[in-house]
Each structure stands twice: as C-alpha cells, then as structure tokens.
Structure 1
C-alpha cells in the first residue's frame, strides 16, 4: 500500500497547480504523506529533488513534463505512477523554447539551454520496461502536446483516453477514485 504520494508539476508550473491542490484536498483524510515539491527548471536537478523523496512505499502522479518525470522514475525505481496528458519526448518539443523563460507561478526568470534538452534526452526511455506500473489519463483536445504520441507510447499501460478536453485536463476530479485505486491508496472516511 502506498504511504507517500508525490505530485509532479509540469513545465513553468509550481506546487500550486490546480490539479495538485485539488488532489491534495481529496486526500485530506488520507493517513499517508502527500508531497508536491517545487521543481527546478533544470531536469537533472528536478530529478534529484524528486529522488530525494522516494522510498519503496512511494507512488507518483505527474502532469505534462511532470508525467515525463513520473514515467522515468516509475520505470527506473519500480514505482506505480499516473500520468496526466504527459509529455512523451520533451527534448524534441522544447527546442522551440530555448532562451529566456519566465515561470509566472514561481515568479522567476531563467534560460532554457541546450544542456537542459540533452538532460531530457538522457531521461527519455525508448521502451517501457514495466508498463503495468503506469496509468495514462489523456484528453484528445490537449492543445499543447500531441495526444496520439502518448496513446501510442503508453499502449501497453492502463489508459483512459477522452475526446475533447484540453491540456490542463478538464474534470480531473472525476478520476480521483480511479487514481487512488490504481496507486493502492486507501482513504479513511
């Protein structure tokens, strides 16, 4: 049974993402630990920040770039993870964003550099070694990431693929029951 759940936010987001907050409210009566770390824009640093929280009783949930990180950590450390409209191969997507960036949710400026793309490339897993550890929640109306990439990449995983929606995943709260069941989280009432 999972005793710790880590929510992994996406690119230029923060620990105050709407999905993270909603899920935290849902887990208010859970006896486990819910962690939503503020992550660095540097992929290597972000992974190190996340790995510092991992143990054998950890489960993961990640959205967008956080879904990419959750996938990597799940497969490397053998942990269950839910991925929500995940980035599949962000190094390819982010090449258009090189240069000056501003994260409005963390209120800081930084440079997205080629070294960050190389780090993302090194985290990309060509093949999922334990697809049974992953659960994909995907909306076809995602205007930021190509949904078909995720459906294909996670084809051997449990999936819910909905028509419509958008990148932020409309109606996320409808899946709290499915998420907690998949991650083996038991809530007290």
Structure 2
C-alpha cells in the first residue's frame, strides 16, 4: 500500500509558511495529486499540539497509508506521531532533547514568519515535552534522518545517536533551516512512497 496521507510538522516558532513546508506542499500537489497533504499551525503547548494532530489524523489510514515529516521540534513530534500511527517518519534536523533545550526559552516568543505574532512558552510546556518522549521505544516503522553538521542550533551528533536504526543522511556543512532541502526533497518523497 502506498502513502495517501502526508503530515508535515513545523518547528518551534515556525509555521506552515516555512520554506520546507511550502516546497513540500507544492511538490506533492504537482507530482502526487492523489495524496492528501496537511501542515497544521501547531499551538505552543506540546500537549495541545499533539492532541490537535491525533484528533485530525484519527480517520487517516494508519501504518503504510500515511507518513509524517518533521523539522526541528516537529521532528521530535513526528517520532511521537509515528509511534502512535505506526507510520514512516522523516526527521529533518530533529530536536532530540527539546525539554532541555527549550527550558531556557520560557517566556514571550515571536513567530519566525510573523514577528507581530507573539505567544508564551510556559514552564509546564517543558513537562509536556518530556511526556511525549518515545526515545526508549524501538521505531514502529522505517525512519529517515537528515542531519546537517553545520546546524547552528542543534547537535547533529545527538541526532545520529538518537536514531541508530534510521536511514541516515549526514550532510557536511549546512544549517538548521536545511537550506539544501530542495536537493533532499526527492529522496524524502521517495522514502515516503507516495501514491500517484
């Protein structure tokens, strides 16, 4: 069975307006018109974010019928979704220890794509992140990790260590935004095994 439903999860302070999300949406629409693509705006609360996703994909085909792509914090979320839905996952410079890393970002934050938009990252969100940790579980389905050694925010070595069973693409140089994503997208979509 090929993938008919593709979920994209953006990172911290990001949105469906991210360059990677938009490019993925455009490529899927052009080359795989039979695939349903969804990139939701995730609320700041990790618990609320995953409740939104879980409710929205409840009617999707689980397992081989769907796949999830996640970038940065969205990569951490994607691992949780994949463990629930038992589906393939693609992890783009994923956050591996977001509870640790985001603890210093408690307080008011601005949206990356709209600085006028503000939200509060609350202390309890750190505990909510820890509750979503599935690193102790074996992967429920195949994983593809794309990690840039030049990521200025997250350590690619932690990513490689976190996903030992994944197909791994470690890129020399690069950045957290994965500016080379247009070159990786074909492999990402092949891995997802999208329906025509």
Query: Do Structure 1 and Structure 2 share a fold, with TM-score over 0.5?
Result: yes
Q: Distance in 1 between matches of 2:191 and 2:43?
A: 28
Q: Distance in 1 between matches of 2:135 and 2:89?
A: 18
Counterpart in the other structure of 1:96: 104
Residue 152 of structure 2: which of 125, 136, 143 is its match?
A: 143
Distance change >3 Å, CA 104–CA 139, structure 1 → 2:
closer
Other structure's SS at 1:52 match? helix
Distance change >3 Å, CA 137–CA 128, structure 1 → 2:
farther
Q: Distance in 2 between matches of 1:146 and 1:40?
A: 25
1:19-76 per-residue CA deviation (whole Å, 9 max, x = no partner) reads 0011111112311111111110110111011112322122100100000000111122
Q: Give yes or no for the alignment of 1:34 onto 2:37.
A: yes
Q: Which runs of 5+ in 2 are unaligned?
A: none
Residue 159 of structure 1: which of 160, 164, 168 is its match?
A: 168
Q: Distance in 1 between matches of 2:135 and 2:76?
A: 12
Q: Which runs of 5+ in 1 are unaligned?
A: none
Distance change >3 Å, CA 43–CA 71, structure 1 → 2:
same
Residue 88 of structure 2: which of 80, 92, 98 is its match?
A: 80
Other structure's SS at 1:142 match? coil
> What TM-score, normalized by structure 1, do the two folds share?
0.93
Q: Give yes or no for the alignment of 1:66 onto 2:66.
A: no
Q: Distance in 2 between matches of 1:127 and 1:157?
A: 15
Q: Distance in 1 between matches of 2:3 and 2:194?
A: 6
> What TM-score, normalized by structure 2, do the two folds share?
0.90
Q: Distance in 2 between matches of 1:185 and 1:53?
A: 20
Counterpart in the other structure of 1:184: 193
**Structural RMSD (CA):** 1.4
Q: Give structure 1 regions of 4+ aligned residues with deviation exceeding 6 angstroms.
A: none
Counterpart in the other structure of 1:117: 126
CA positional deviation for 1:122: 0.6
Q: Distance in 2 between matches of 1:76 and 1:27?
A: 24
Q: Distance in 1 between matches of 2:141 and 2:82?
A: 10
Number of residue pairs aligned between Structure 1 and Structure 2: 187
Q: Give yes or no for the alignment of 1:8 onto 2:4.
A: no
Other structure's SS at 2:12 match? coil
